Structure formats: structure tokens, C-alpha cells
Structure 1
């Protein structure tokens, strides 16, 4: 399988090449030229696999330049049960009203980002060793990618991490998980601005071919297509678990996924799984008050917003108004030639009007969307706890809130959990009052650790200077 840029300006490359490079040098995002087919027979064969073996099977066609035995060794290290709080790796739990919960936050940093990042933490050092290279991982995080990446690469030979996060826009636990790491190969930079500014800085530096080459720049946030590929695994896994036999018969409900989303990376992985053949009925995009994606899937118009119009909310990891990964989906939607013609409209006019494509968004690609706000989040946290004794985080609560507006007979809506509630104690306490679980000793100890972070302006030269200091 080969990979190209959405903008058509680079030569096709292998998985190993795009694994290290992250963003494309022409400013676009890397996409696979073809997709493997997952048919009913294959799904039946995969039903008995554990998570690591399923990951090997799903990722293998995308990573054809990695020998099968090496790939299997990577996935078994990445998804070793002892590294997760639940030995199933991704538990699937029924709630009520046709809604289920896909537990993606059992990893070491209590967020869904661990699932893909642990695979990158194996695959990238493997590729570096094979090519005798080093890599400076440059990333942007709205809350969870940073800690997942830094823990995944901690102590990895030949890897340094420079992580950008927006000043004052993450929860105390999110900051502590990142900033308390004491390793000279890891630098945390708090950028003046919002997540979109951090993401723009990463893309600008990655697209500067001379600088990126000189300093071996790579990316591990959802700019990197390998992370997207690793995330398709849990869609397949959750679909298989949701359709297992019940009382001796196979479940016959239509399965849809509800995905809390800001940057569109996680739900784009679901889109790939659906295109490959996994029988996913609908993909429900759930946003918070920063509802640019909801607006796009309701109206067909994509209009990113400025820093001044990006709200600081109680689900901060979704406080994003420029959904970087939407570029990949629009490339699929329009096709390569039309994409190259239409995408520049976004830069010229500040919006991309695809209203003519609105029927295809729903009928062909299965996308619908909704938004949630602070009051809805509190209601969802409270209701799920009182009914099931499960405490969900605010982002997952956005998903549950939106899911309730889309329930239909004969359909099960699986909400993708994004993080553990312990990362957002203030919002949970507001929702549950005296029923809120106490702060654990582990969290208290984490918050008490010294933190190492440098405040920087939202300026490319400031980030370049930090990278140059690492050499």
C-alpha cells in the first residue's frame, strides 16, 4: 500500500516513510491510496481474537513493509493486558435506551489516545533502528495526546518530544501528567493561544522541508496517518463485541458510533473502518459549544473560527475550531482532482461551501451530528452515574448527550469514551455533588509533583529555537 498527500504535491511513499514524516511536505495530510476490504467472513474469523491479535490483523495491510512477525511483536507489547486497567483492553458496556459505552480509557494516561500512541511508541523506534535515524516528535495537544505520547516514548532510543499545548486550556490533571515528566528528551511548551494555534505551528514547521529535514521532525498527533490507522482497530473490536451472540443468537441490531470530536481524527478512523466494510450504520459526530463540525454536517458549510470565537468549555479537549483531519475526509468526499480545485477556497474565503454534497454526507457516508453544552454534560454525568454507577468524563458526556437525540428502534449507539473522569474532577463534582468520588491518592500524588513547562508566544521562530537547542 502507498500513501500520498491530499494536496497532490509529493510522491507516493511507504508506511515506514510516512510513519516518521507525519505531515506531508506540501502542507497536506497523508492518506492511503487504497483500503483493504473487511468482509463478513473476515469478521467471523476475527471474532475470537484478543485485542493485540486483532490489531495485528487490521494494521497489517496498511503496514506491508513491516514483517508480520515484527508487527505482531509490536502489537503484543503495545496491548499487553498488564499495561491496562482492564485486561480486555477495550471493554464494551451497555447503558440504557439503546446506548452503549466503549471503554477506551484503560491505558496508562487514562485517555483514548493511549491506544494508538502505544502502537506508535513501538513502531517508530523500530523504524528508526532500521534506518539508523533519530526523530524529534513535534506535537500539539488539547489535553490528552501530549501525555499519551510522552509516556509512550519515555526512554525510547533516538526519540525526542517537543509538545505544544494551549496556555490555561487543560485540566490540572492533564497538565500534571505532561509537565511532571522529568526527562531531558521531553520538552513541554505552553503556547499563548488556543489549540488551533498550536496545531498551525506544528503544520507550518512540518511543511518547512529544509528545517524539518535538518532537525528530523516527525508528528504523532492525528496529523500522523499511522495514529489514525491504529484507531480503526477499536471500531472493529467494539463492533465485534456489540454483535456477539446473546442468549444463543447473534445480535441483529444496527451498530452506530457516537464520537466526541474536535479535530475529527477519531471519527475519521471510524470512517475508514466503515469504508473498509465494517457494517457501521451511522457515525454521529458529537461536539461541544465549539460546534464547527456539527455545523458542517448539518449545513454542508465548513467555516473555521478564530481564536476569539473559540470557547473555553468544561470539555476542554474539544475546544477546537479548525478540524485538521476534516481535510482527509473532504479528499475522500470530492476525490483527488476536485479536492485540489476546491480546497483552496477555504484559505481564500475562510469557508468551504459543500452544500451540494450534503445528501452524500448522510446517505453514502453515514454522517450525522449534534452538539452539547455545559448543562447537558452535567445532566449526562449525573444520569449515567445514578442509573449505572459509572462516572463518565465531560467529553464522553457530550457523546451521551448527543446520542440520546439520535436513538432509533433496532439501533445501538456506541459512545466512544474519551478519558477517565478523574482527569476532570471539578466538572464531575459539579454534576454529582456529594456523590462525587473523592480524589484518589494517586491523583493527589500526581498533582503534588513538580512541573516543568516553558511558556512561549504563538510564534514559529520561538518553537524553532527550542528545537534547535535540542541538537
Structure 2
């Protein structure tokens, strides 16, 4: 299996190289040259597999340059850190299926990919005799999950940028209380988009990228998306044979829902993918009105979705444009110049065969948490509530709505308490964070300042 860039200006590379490259050197995102197809017979066989077995079956289709025994070992080690035997259990509640993706070390869906990616990085760096400096931006959960994936690992430093005072307090503590020598937190005075822009600019500085061996853990890294493809298959395998399914995905960066799109392209029987956003609704505006135009980021009770520029959207556009990298390059040149990407009627008709969409406001999010809890006793975190609200409103075609639960509700305790008037009990690993010493560098949204900090800290450990 070889990988190419959405922008078409790199020679094909193998899986190991794709993991280490992160962002393609031409500024695009990496994708497989072709999408493996899974037959109905194979899908039937997969229904009996455990999560690690299914992860191996899916990932090995894309990672054929890692020996099978080594890949199995990496996968088994990654999911041994999860607290639930099923890794991502499916729970039936009130007419919907909740796919719980929060049983990893940091209680967020990002653990599913980042536990694996941390182990992959360590394995590949040891094989190559190299070191790496990971730089990533987070709106909340990616940072803590990435840190948990690589803390203390050999040959790796990690630098995580998050918007200062714009994550939940617990999300901030999960990052800043990790004091391992290879972990560096940077609180940027600005938005997540500011953080993400700095990271992209550092990766596009090819001299700096090469000199400091930059690596990516954001969902621009292909291995992140690939690991997330697995739980779509796992959820389907836990439903009755022949069931029609619509996946409701709360998303800000388009990575999680793009993994579902890939699963569908591979042959998973998915009726529709429901793209659910909060007030930062550039993606739902795109699906509903063909309007992909940048606006101002609004701060909400679902901060991990407080994003305008969705990194993984470029991967979907590559397929929407018939795998034409010149069209992709032109679209992003237009976006840079005008702040929007226009779409034809034919393109939008194609989009609507694949996606439903909704935008869920603050009051509606809190009301969904409250009503769902009152009716069932089940507590939703505010991001999951956005997806559940969308599913209850939009899935009317008889298919089974599977709602991705992206975080444990205790990670967003203030919002949940606002909705249900009682505090969410803290799991032991979150309760233990209170009062711990923390370390974090607060900086302006200035690429040069971040670059100097990386040079200084990385230089100390070379």
C-alpha cells in the first residue's frame, strides 16, 4: 500500500513513511493510493472478532510494511490501557445506540488512535535510530490523549498548543499536570484555529521541520484517521445482521466523520453519516447550503468543536473532486484568497447522498443533556449531546442511529451540572488531578515565539 498527497506533489510513500511524515511535504494530507474493499463475506467473519483482532484486520490492509506479529503486538499493547473489555462498547439507550469511545486513559475518543500512534512512533524511531519532536494543536482532548500516548517514551519530545483558558479546566489539568521531561505544554492567547495555524506554518517550514524532525499527532496524521475507522466496523458488528445504520458524529475538525466515510467507502453498509456541529457550523453550512466560508469562532459548552477551519475536510474534497489534486490546490488557493470555497450543484448533490447535517445551539445542547438524563438516567457530555440531538431530530428513515460518545461527561462537569443541576461524579483518574503541580508556558499567538521555545527545549534533550 502506497500513500499520496491530496495536493499531488510527492512521490508515493509506504505506511511507515506516511506515519512519520504527518503533513505531506507539499502542504497536503496523505491518503492511500486506493481504498481496500471489504466483501460482505469478510464483514460477516469480522462480526465475531474482539476489538484488537478487528483492529488488526482493518489496519493490516493499510500497513503492509510492518510484520504481522509486530503490528499485532503494537495493537494489543495500545488497547491494554483501556478500562472496558470491549474497548468501545455499544450501549442501547432510549431508541439510539451510544458508541462509548471514552474508556481510554484520558476518557476521550482520541485515546483510541493516540495510544496506537504513540506506540507506532516509538517502534519506528527505534527501528530508524532517530528522534522526533511532536508538535500538535488541541481544542481540548487531542492534547491530553497525545501526551498520554507518548509521555516518557524514548526518543520523543511533545509540544502541545492549546487556546489559553478556552479548554475545560479538567482538560487543561490533564495536559499541564504531566511533568515528564519530554512533555511541553504551550497555552496560546487566542483560539484553537490560531494554534492550528501556527502548527501548520511550522510544518510548512521545511528546513525547520527537517532539522528538528517534526512529527504530527493531530488528525492530519494518517494513522490517527486509520485507527478511528476500526470502531465504525466494530459498532456495525455489534448490531443485528441486516440492520441499516446511520452514524451521528459530533465533529469540528472532520477527522472522526472522515473515518466513517472511509469505512463506508471500504464496504461498510452505512445509510448516512450525520455531521453534527455546534454554533461553529461551517461544516453543517457546507452540507446544507454549500456554504464553506470562514467565520468567527464562538466559544461554547462543547469546546472541542469550537473550530472554523476543519483540517481533514481536504481529504474529503480530494474524493469529492474525483481524486484531482489540481482541483484541491485551486480550492485552497481560493480559500486563502477569499475565505470561502464555492461548490457546484452537482458536487452538492453528491455530498447529500453521503451526509446529513445539523447545527445544535447552546440551549439545545443543554436541553438534550437534561431531557436524556431525565428519561434514561444516562449522562451525555456536551459534544455527544450535539450528536444525539441531531440523531433524534434527523434520523427518520428507519435506520438505527449510532451516536458516537466522544468524551466522559465528567470532563465537562460545569456544562453537565448546568444542564442537570447535579455534579457528575469524577472518575478516580480525574479526581486525582486536583491540586497536582502543573507546568505550562503561556504565549502570544506568535509562530516565532513558539518556534524559539521548541528549539530551546528540543536542544536540551538532543
**TM-score normalised by length of structure 2:** 0.96
**Deviation at 1:316?**
0.5
Three-state SS of the structure 2 residue aligned to 1:369 is: strand
Partners of 1:440 and 1:274 in 2: how far apart? 35
Partners of 1:238 and 1:197 in 2: how far apart? 35
For 2:361, the equivalent position in structure 1 comes to 373
For 1:312, the equivalent position in structure 2 comes to 299
Three-state SS of the structure 1 residue aligned to 2:139 is: coil
Alignment of 1:324 with 2:311, yes or no, is yes
For 1:340, the equivalent position in structure 2 comes to 329
* 5+ long unaligned stretches in structure 2: none
Partners of 2:108 and 2:379 in 1: how far apart? 14
For 1:424, the equivalent position in structure 2 comes to 412
Partners of 1:467 and 1:297 in 2: how far apart? 38
* Paired residues of 1:190 and 1:454 also in contact (CA < 8 A): yes
* Paired residues of 1:181 and 1:451 also in contact (CA < 8 A): yes
Three-state SS of the structure 1 residue aligned to 2:394 is: coil
Three-state SS of the structure 2 residue aligned to 1:28 is: coil
Partners of 1:448 and 1:119 in 2: how far apart? 30
Deviates more, 1:380-389 or 1:201-210: 380-389
Three-state SS of the structure 1 residue aligned to 2:115 is: helix
Change (3 A) 1:157 1:441: closer
The counterpart of 1:382, out of the listed 360, 366, 370, is 370
* Paired residues of 1:299 and 1:355 also in contact (CA < 8 A): no
Three-state SS of the structure 1 residue aligned to 2:265 is: helix
**Deviation at 1:443?**
3.1
Partners of 2:397 and 2:303 in 1: how far apart? 33
Partners of 1:112 and 1:440 in 2: how far apart? 16
For 1:37, the equivalent position in structure 2 comes to 37
* Paired residues of 1:301 and 1:355 also in contact (CA < 8 A): no
Alignment of 1:408 with 2:396, yes or no, is yes
The counterpart of 1:443, out of the listed 430, 445, 450, is 430
Change (3 A) 1:348 1:233: same
**Deviation at 1:301?**
2.4
For 2:62, the equivalent position in structure 1 comes to 62
Partners of 1:32 and 1:346 in 2: how far apart? 25
For 2:109, the equivalent position in structure 1 comes to 112
* Paired residues of 2:152 and 2:181 also in contact (CA < 8 A): no
Alignment of 1:453 with 2:443, yes or no, is no
For 2:338, the equivalent position in structure 1 comes to 349
For 1:247, the equivalent position in structure 2 comes to none
For 1:246, the equivalent position in structure 2 comes to none
Three-state SS of the structure 2 residue aligned to 1:226 is: helix
Alignment of 1:26 with 2:26, yes or no, is yes
Partners of 1:132 and 1:441 in 2: how far apart? 38
Three-state SS of the structure 1 residue aligned to 2:393 is: coil
1:333-360 deviation line (CA, Å, top 9, x unaligned):
0022432343321112211011421100
Partners of 1:437 and 1:199 in 2: how far apart? 31
**Deviation at 1:441?**
5.7
Change (3 A) 1:156 1:440: closer
1:140-197 deviation line (CA, Å, top 9, x unaligned):
0000000001011111111110000011110010000000001121100001111111
Change (3 A) 1:13 1:442: closer
Three-state SS of the structure 1 residue aligned to 2:433 is: helix
Alignment of 1:391 with 2:379, yes or no, is yes
**Deviation at 1:447?**
2.1
For 1:287, the equivalent position in structure 2 comes to 277
Partners of 1:73 and 1:279 in 2: how far apart? 29
Partners of 2:204 and 2:44 in 1: how far apart? 42
Change (3 A) 1:43 1:215: same
**Deviation at 1:445?**
2.7
Partners of 1:439 and 1:227 in 2: how far apart? 28
RMSD across aligned positions (CA): 1.3
For 2:193, the equivalent position in structure 1 comes to 196
Change (3 A) 1:442 1:57: closer
**TM-score normalised by length of structure 1:** 0.94
Matches within 5 A, 1:153-172: 153-172=150-169
**Deviation at 1:269?**
0.6
Three-state SS of the structure 1 residue aligned to 2:271 is: strand
